[in-house]
Amino acid sequence: MAVTKHTLVALVEDRPGALSRVASLFRRRGFNIESIAVGHTETPHLSRMTITVDGATTAVEQVRKQLDKVVDVVKVVDITAENLVARDLALIKVKATPATRGEILQIVDIFRANIVDVASDSIIVEVTGDEDKVDSLFQLLRGFGIKEMARTGRLAMSRGPLGPLQGGGKDAPRGRGRKG
Amino acid sequence: MKLKGAEILCEALLKEGVETIFGFPGGALLPLYDTFPQYPQLRHVLVRHEQGAAHAAEGYARSSGKVGVCLATSGPGATNLVTGIANAYLDSSPMVAITGQVARPFIGKDAFQEVDITGITLPITKHNYMVMAVGDLAQVVQEAFHLARTGRPGPVLIDIPRDVFMEETTVSWPEKVNLSGYKPTLAGHPSQIKRAARAINEATRPVILAGQGVAISGAYDELRALAEQAQIPVITTLLGIGTFPESHVLSFGMLGMHGMAYANMAVDASDLVIAIGMRFDDRATGRVSGFAPKAKVVHIDIDPAEIGKNVRVDVPIVGDVKNVLKVLNKLVESGDRHEWVRQIEDWREEHPALWIRDGDDLIPQFVVRKIYEVTGGDAIIVTGVGQNQMWAAQHFYYDRPGSFISSGGLGTMGFELPAAIGAKIGSPQKTVWCIAGDGGFQMTLQELATAVQDRVAVKIAILNNGFLGMVRQWQELFHNKRYVGTELWGPDFVKLAEAYGIPGLRVTDRVRVTAAIEEAMAHDGPFLIDFKVEPEENVYPMVPPGASLGESMDAPKKRAEAPADSAKLPVSNI
């Protein structure tokens, strides 16, 4: 089966309005974005956005090119075809009674997740991994009753020595700093 | 030496070569207007509504090739610019829009005349700025002009709070623009250009589709060289009109919904489409799935996001049209395609789209043709949107880039008069005719006062049919002639002109058309002619909505012969 989920990484000038420019673009062009994660990078004044797009419903190449036209976007690369490390982090607050707590702890242990808060009738589980792992843990904990969940969306990085300004996806030569 | 923000802005505008600003003052702009007397080199044209300022700036930009500048105060002044900014965005016109903003301590407080204009214009500007420190102003202005005029041009907005105009600083002028996220690709990829040349050399039925990118890039000579060398018929988009001389034997007019039937048939039958500086707008392509079904597509455009957006492309070339054509022309072999050219000529014989029927009735096509004859084609035509626009595109012959100025992408009624004023100011030595409909003219006619006060000698031809004609035409053809909301009462335009101090004439029959146009041309100043034309004249040829270019309809021989099944035609994307 062809991979339809694409991962785009955009390096964006850390200016007021940069995020709303990107968000506005997605809305206006009708792009369907599955997740977007934003944070600082190794370079001051640059933010990194990791965007996942379902290629079955959205023309990913158009997303990449339109993103690249945003003046605050310094570079955008589709890293889907690369050897990736992709991680999602979730905090899950799950109901825990004295009777169920032991079982929950076992599951958490199997998933190499962490307990980061314990209250009288609930605990907060912190899990990091690819989306499938987070999804599976969520499904298993669901039976106990989930009170709250927060997820970051995918963060991704290519394996190997190259940084984001040197590496690139399959279309990197056309994707570098090209504006219209 | 310390300068106030308002002075820095004026100095920066002068550094960018600005001579004219179309504006309207207001509270947030008072400190700036107070500074204007220090800078008499900057001509301020006072409009009557800020939308007029934006359209005038665009008309100015398109007639002069320079960046158009418009200026409005905060709140309603800024929102009134929005239509004009969107128009410039869709038509890739270089524009810098400057808005006043409430003072910094009031931002976010819903202060008097506060509006989030950078938020509002986010999707309709190439980029926008809010200047929160006077020290940023010089650099922002420089970047804004650089963005507006380079790459694919477009509007850039600068929002400046009132107190930033008054704050003083020691200004340091930046050496050059350094935007790490903005580097337009100017040279085309050599191997793609080679592939394009090979495709052209192998093609037996190629067509060139020339768009406004040819004009923006200044590639008039290069386009002509390519067409002549390889004997390729040239068809233009609406905004591509004038990029190839329409008197040339290889010119076959405009394609699209109201394009020439033979141009549309040529695209439909072609084996290679060479699209140059155009973006496959739906009004140009007809039904996309039926567009040029037998053709390979070479697409040259400076904006990579345009390639593959609407139409599948076989040979993409990202770059400045002039640069690309210079290289391409060296690789293209001279060709003899007279059979293909003759085929299109035959289609032209069979479908004489531009025939003007005989009779005494005053038809709009006749008026446009007479304006062409009297001016000898040496004029800038600025149109409204709708039937008047299509007749102006069809029945005047354009030989020069910049001679046809029209609202293409956004289709903004009311564009015509303010844009014509801007065009005349941008090219004062040229004759500028504003061809308007009675509907669009009533949207922005307040700018007559601007033409009078600033002595702008625009000539106005109203094709007055008492209808919102294009919508009426669709109601006639696709809604069983139910005219809803399209019958249009209007004032006595001649008296109206008189009230503004503008001489005017009313023309009701063909005999007086030429004399009226000559009188308008002889008058030294603005002049208005109200042509009372046939109320229910239709624009033909027409590709019905949802049909492909090969299904172009000619004008019915008589009105009674309108296609009986027309109401069944598929309707989409009105």
Q: Which residues of A touch B183 (CB under 8 A)?
A: 177-179
The complex's ipTM works out to 0.86
Would you call B306 and A180 a contact, using CB atoms and an 8 Å cutoff? yes
* Closest Cα in chain B, distance from residue A13 (Å): 8
Question: What is the residue-level pLDDT of chain A in tens, covering all 180 positions?
Answer: 466 889 999 999 998 889 999 999 999 998 888 899 999 999 999 999 999 998 888 889 999 999 999 999 999 999 998 888 999 999 999 999 999 999 999 999 999 999 999 999 999 999 999 999 999 999 999 999 999 999 999 999 999 887 765 544 444 333 333 343
| Sequence-separated (6 or more) residues with CB below 8 Å from residue B557 | none
Q: What span, in angstroms and rounded, lies between the C-alpha atoms of A3 and A132?
A: 15
Q: Encoding tokens for residue B446? A: 């307040």
Question: What is the residue-level pLDDT of chain B in tens, covering all 574 positions?
Answer: 899 999 999 999 999 999 999 999 999 999 999 999 999 999 999 999 999 999 999 999 999 999 999 999 999 999 999 999 999 999 999 999 999 999 999 999 999 999 999 999 999 999 999 999 999 999 999 999 999 999 999 999 999 999 999 999 999 999 899 899 999 999 999 999 999 999 999 999 999 999 999 999 999 999 999 999 999 999 999 999 999 999 999 999 999 999 999 999 999 999 999 999 999 999 999 999 999 999 999 999 999 999 999 999 999 999 999 999 999 999 999 988 999 999 999 999 988 767 788 888 999 999 999 999 999 999 999 999 999 999 999 999 999 889 999 999 999 999 999 999 999 999 999 999 999 999 999 999 999 999 999 999 999 999 999 999 999 999 999 999 999 999 999 999 999 999 999 999 999 999 999 999 999 999 999 999 999 999 999 999 999 999 999 998 888 765 434 343 333 344 444 3
Contact in structure between B160 and B101 (CB atoms under 8 Å)? yes
Maximum C-alpha span of chain A? 62
Q: Which residues of A touch B306 (CB under 8 A)?
A: 180
- In 3D, which of B399, B449, B385, B393 has the Cα closest to residue B421? B449
Per-residue model confidence (pLDDT) at position B562: 39
* B127: contact with A, CB 8 A cutoff: yes
Per-residue model confidence (pLDDT) at position A166: 57
Would you call A179 and B123 a contact, using CB atoms and an 8 Å cutoff? no
DSSP codes of every residue in B458-501 = -EEEEEE-SB-HHHHHHHHHHSTT---S-B-----HHHHHHHTT
Torsion B373-B378-B380-B385 (CA) sign:
positive
Per-residue model confidence (pLDDT) at position B353: 66
pTM of the predicted model, to two decimals? 0.93
Cα radius of gyration rounded to whole Å, chain A: 19
Per-residue model confidence (pLDDT) at position B555: 82
- Reported as half-sphere exposure (CB side, CA atoms, 13 A), residue B297 has a value of 23
Q: Which residues of B touch A179 (CB under 8 A)?
A: 151, 181-185
Chain A 25-54, CB below 8 Å of chain B: which residues? 25, 28
Which alpha helices (DSSP H) does B507-552 contain, by range?
513-522
Instruction: For chain A, give percent helix, strand, coil, nearest 5.
Output: 25, 40, 35
Q: What span, in angstroms and rounded, lies between the C-alpha atoms of B386 and B486?
A: 13
- Mutation pick from B107, B147, B180 vs chain A, by most beta carbons of A within 10 Å, is B180
Per-residue model confidence (pLDDT) at position B529: 98
* B299: contact with A, CB 8 A cutoff: no
Angle between helices B82-90 and B50-64 (to 10 degrees): 30
Phi, psi angles (nearest 5°) of residue B277: 60, 40
Q: What span, in angstroms and rounded, lies between the C-alpha atoms of A89 and A94?
A: 16
B501-554 pLDDT, tens per residue? 999 999 999 999 999 999 999 999 999 999 999 999 999 999 999 999 999 888
Pairing of strands B20-23, A146-151: unpaired
| Sequence-separated (6 or more) residues with CB below 8 Å from residue B18 | B42, B67, B69
Contact in structure between B69 and B57 (CB atoms under 8 Å)? yes
* B302: contact with A, CB 8 A cutoff: yes
Per-residue model confidence (pLDDT) at position B569: 40
Pairing of strands B296-301, B315-318: parallel
* Exposed e or buried b per residue across B294-323, where buried means at least 16 C-beta atoms within 10 angstroms of its C-beta: ebbbbbbbbbbbbbbbebebebbbbbbbbb
Q: What span, in angstroms and rounded, lies between the C-alpha atoms of A28 and B124?
A: 10
Among B182, B302, B303, whose Cβ lies nearest the Cβ of A71?
B182
* A2: contact with B, CB 8 A cutoff: no
